[in-house]
Structure 1
Amino acid sequence: MCGSASVGIVQDRHRAALATGSTFAHEMGHLFGMDHDSGACSCPDSRCIMAASINTLNPPQQWSTCSVATYNSVVSRTFNNLARCLHNVPSDILGDPVCGDGIQEEGEVCDCGSPQECTDPCCDARTCRLVAEAQCHKGECCNSQCRFKDSLSMCRPSAGQCDIEDYCTGLSSDCPADVFVQDGTTCNNDQWYCFSGQCKTYNEQCQRHFLTNKGHDNCFSFNTDGSHFGNCGSDGTSYISCRPHAFTTYVGADIVSPGLVEDGVKCGRNKWCYEQQCRDFSVTPCPRGPNAEICSGNGKCNNDDQCTCLNGFSGSTCEIRPIINECALGIHNCEHVCIDTLEAFVCACNFGYILESDGHSCTLDCGGRLTAISGSFQTPGWPNAYPSENFRCEWIIDVSGAGSIEFTMDQTAFGILGNPLSSCPTDYLQFFDGTSSNSNSLEKICGVHSHYEGTLPVISTTSSSARVVFTGSNLRRPLSRVGVKVN
């Protein structure tokens, strides 16, 4: 029903508008490929629009399960132009505009019916204007808050490998005009060519009209007969014979048979059928961006030999990044903190953590090797709270030439999570005399133990090396956990 020569006429002499509408819907159903309902079909109120006969006194208003299945099947076929055709909404409406009739007419921004009927939160039913702060009330690019969707919002998915998905502009509620992949682009595993947004093949045409695949190549030899069963069109009075090895095609309204090969079907290398001839064609390459890639790798070449940019990119070669806040939209991979920038975003870590080389992961800033004669180190986050998670830090201190090492801690800034067990199973600071795994433990501290009487000890080693371990846990208690600084 969406071909260049498609036409349908529905005539009904019934005076009741509802009965006429039901008849019109029934005949339109046939145009969509729907058959009369059988016993296997059902309707919510048992009266189906596609029934073989209807009661005009109580006409049906519901589609059957069979009709719905047929419709969904038809509009989902990638070789079918029907779904695209249905988006061609007429703009001219006969009659004077009436605010409140539910039809948006000239001079109206919206029309949601009477104030009692209106359910559109974006439209003022009294004035047929948008409510305050609203930018839109309908359209693929209007969100539920009556605002334009951003340029990352897809408003029309690709209908197949020869169609390009379309995105909102951020400036309108309407989805931009549908654009296709450049004519002549190979499709279906490089066997055929894209033409007017479809991968044109013999089989898809035959399936569409005859529900079968194309005939043997020998069948094309009949085209030289110039008969009803084989021809290259008509001059109005008789059929035209094809030249040997030619392929039949059709020309606009001069179609005499759905079996004539359509424009765009491949008939040789860099050749396709066009206006009843097998013609050579060439593809004009789209411009390359600063990175030497076609459309900068951020778009597709369309049928106007220009770049159609995707995912919010813009510019003649799609070289301009979209201005979006990835942090606010949550489209980032930062483990801790996301910081929005003009170009993109950067990741940062919470206090006490360091950013890994991958640019988004965070690890505790603790542990390491110390060799200076004096210095200090602190637990993660000090003097703020150390993380409430399971972790382990280890410092190796190796001071060559020193007889021993002395450790002191500031009592006023001490706060390791207390534990009722003296063995300190979690959240502890432990000192070892030496760096090996079997070195003697000098001290293990958690909380403030009674035998210290609130005073932290001075810890000394017997050699010039030591190992210090600090562990944390995910235990949550209403106690101080600021850790400690060791000198």
Structure 2
Amino acid sequence: YGHMWSMPVVLGQGLAQNLGIQWESESKRKKCECPGSWTGCIMEDPGFYHPHTFSKCSIMEYKEFLQRGGGACLFNRPTKLFETTECGNGYVESGEECDCGLRVECFGSCCKKCSLANGAHCSDGPCCNYTCQFLKRGYDCRDAVNDCDIAEYCTGDSGQCPPNLHKQDGYTCDLNQGRCFSGECKTRDNQCKLIWGSKARGSDKYCYEKLNTEGTEKGNCGKDGEKWLQCSKHDVFCGYLLCTGVSRVPRIGRLLGEITPTSFYHQGKLVDCSGSHIIMDDGTDLGYVEDGTPCGPSMMCMDRRCQPIPSFNISSCPSGSATKICSGHGLCSNEATCICEGTWAGTDCSMYDPKRDEAKPPPEGPKGPSATNLIIGSIAGAILVAAIVLGGTGWGFK
């Protein structure tokens, strides 16, 4: 990088982009209200020394990333964190019942020297109360963040919330206008808003039907060498993304070439059909309709083709005697397991279970690092560690 001080900033920006936080050009500085007038903010051009804060735009983008379901990747907990186990590092490892961290952090804890205190059933987590006992089964420990997420409930036999799951691909969402795919609700409207801002929408269907069948820079299904490919009538809604209400500069990614504005009079009104190639850091072109976006009844896009949902080979959840998925009493998760409604249980949600408690909000759980917080803190916090701690280390080099 040439300069030691710039390395941690670039590293921090790279980590942040994995969490949906985009790089900010100088033109965005005033709009994004960076609180660090002298040091700058982490996602700005790495010309500032030792930035240590995120701007208003960065915080908003991170929240939107989580609300879209992008945070699902943060819950993929590794099976092994360190080469050797050590009591006091804050992680429960082999041979430990608990690990509340350093001695000062364990004061008054349910955990003593990595073993549960007398009478304690748990030491931390959203399903563990201040008396070190499990919360009753049925308490909501993790709310759904969007239409494609699934709320998780305490099991009654663990202090931790169950693994974070989302609905299986193909579920309808956004008032039946979209389809769930990888935990996100995919619609052309949502994709246009993600790229161009809240005022953007997907263009009128006429735009797709007219332009994407022509095979030009203003509408196509990809490129073969230097030749634009025409979409078949069947695939027009999976080709070039056409939006209305676009801004001059995309919110995310890098604009490749120019915006292609086109407008027509259709059925007595002017329709806007604007598109562009938006290149992300991994090379993905968001200028095309995303995989999983609905393109017809029981159809979704995949590789710029409109395909029937059964062709996606999505694993099925168990069915009850009525041949309904999860017996009609639950949701099928991305792991092809049934997540049952409040008074139902069993692998296929066919067992009536009235004993399940709809528990009232309990006292706040005991202090200590919950699994969820550890994972999110480890990953999201790594951005600040990279930008601040490494920055501080690099500060002393010449």
Residue 341 of structure 2: aligned partner: 310
Secondary structure, counterpart of 2:180 in structure 1: strand
Q: Does 1:194 align with 2:180?
A: yes
Superposed CA deviations along residues 85-122 of structure 1, whole A, max 9, x for unmatched, are 23233444354333334455555444443323545713
Alignment deviations for residues 175-231 of structure 1 (CA, whole Å, 9 cap, x no partner): 333444454443333334334443321111222233332234354344446566544
Q: State whether residues 301 and 307 of structure 2, in contact with CA within 8 Å, keep that contact through their aligned partners in structure 1.
A: yes
Percent sequence identity is 32
Whether the 8 Å CA contact 1:296–1:319 is kept in 2: the answer is: no
Counterpart residue number, 1:319: 351
- Once the 2 structures are TM-superposed, how far is the Cα of residue 67 of structure 1 from its aligned partner? 4.4
Distance 1:122 1:93 in 2: 23
Tell me the residue number matched to 1:161. 147
Any gaps of 5 or more consecutive residues in structure 1? 1-10, 332-487
Shift of the 139–259 alpha-carbon distance from structure 1 to 2, 3 Å rule, reads farther
Counterpart Cα distance in 2 of 1:112 and 1:25:
28
Q: How high is the TM-score relative to the length of structure 1?
A: 0.49
> For the Cα contact (< 8 Å) 1:233–1:255, is it kept in 2?
no
CA deviations over 1:321-346 (Å, ceiling 9, x no partner): 143578xx689xxxxxxxxxxxxxxx
State the alpha-carbon separation in 1 of the partners of residues 135 and 45 from structure 2.
Answer: 45
1:84 to 72, 75, 89: 72
Separation in 1, partners of 2:89, 2:333: 40
Could you tell me which of 275, 283, 291 is aligned with 1:263? 291
Question: Which position in structure 2 is the counterpart of 1:244?
Answer: 233
1:72 alignment partner in structure 2:
63
Per-residue deviation at 1:261?
1.8
Q: Residue type of the partner of 2:85?
A: P
Paired position in structure 2 for 1:434: none
Gaps of 5+ in 2: 241-280, 362-398
**Candidates 151, 160, 165, aligned match of 1:174:** 160
Cα distance change on mapping 1:197 and 1:61 into 2, 3 Å: closer
2:295 match: secondary structure: strand
Two-structure CA RMSD over aligned residues (Å): 4.5
Q: CA deviation at 1:312?
A: 5.3
Give a deviation string over 1:244-286, Cα, whole Å, max 9, x none. 3423369xx9975212222222222232223432223469897
1:366-381 counterparts in 2 under 5 A? none
**Which residues of 2 match residues 197-346 of structure 1 at below 5 A?**
197-211=183-197, 212-220=200-208, 221-224=210-213, 230-233=219-222, 240-247=229-236, 248=238, 257-281=285-309, 287=319, 298-302=329-333, 307-311=338-342, 313-315=344-346, 316-323=348-355
Q: Is the 1:234–1:256 contact (alpha carbons within 8 Å) kept by the matching residues of 2?
A: no
Q: 2:69, 2:146 within 8 Å by CA — same for their partners in 1?
A: no
Q: Which amino acid aligns with 1:242?
A: C
Deviation, 1:243, is 2.3
From the superposition, tell whether residues 319 and 103 of structure 1 become closer, same or farther in structure 2 (CA, over 3 Å): closer
CA contact (8 A) 1:154 1:168 kept: yes
Distance 1:243 1:69 in 2: 38
Moved more, 218-227 or 155-164: 218-227
Larger Rg: 1
Tell me whether 31-40 or 167-176 shows the greater mean CA deviation.
31-40
| Counterpart residue number, 1:98 | 86
Q: Which has the higher helix share?
A: 2
Q: Which residue of 2 aligns with 1:485?
A: none
Higher relative contact order (CA 8 A, sep 6+): 2
Paired residues of 2:92 and 2:99 also in contact (CA < 8 A): yes
Residue-pair matches, total: 305
TM-score normalised over the length of structure 2: 0.59
1:294 positional shift: 7.2
Q: Give per-residue Cα distances to partners, 1:415-447, cap 9 Å, x unaligned.
A: xxxxxxxxxxxxxxxxxxxxxxxxxxxxxxxxx
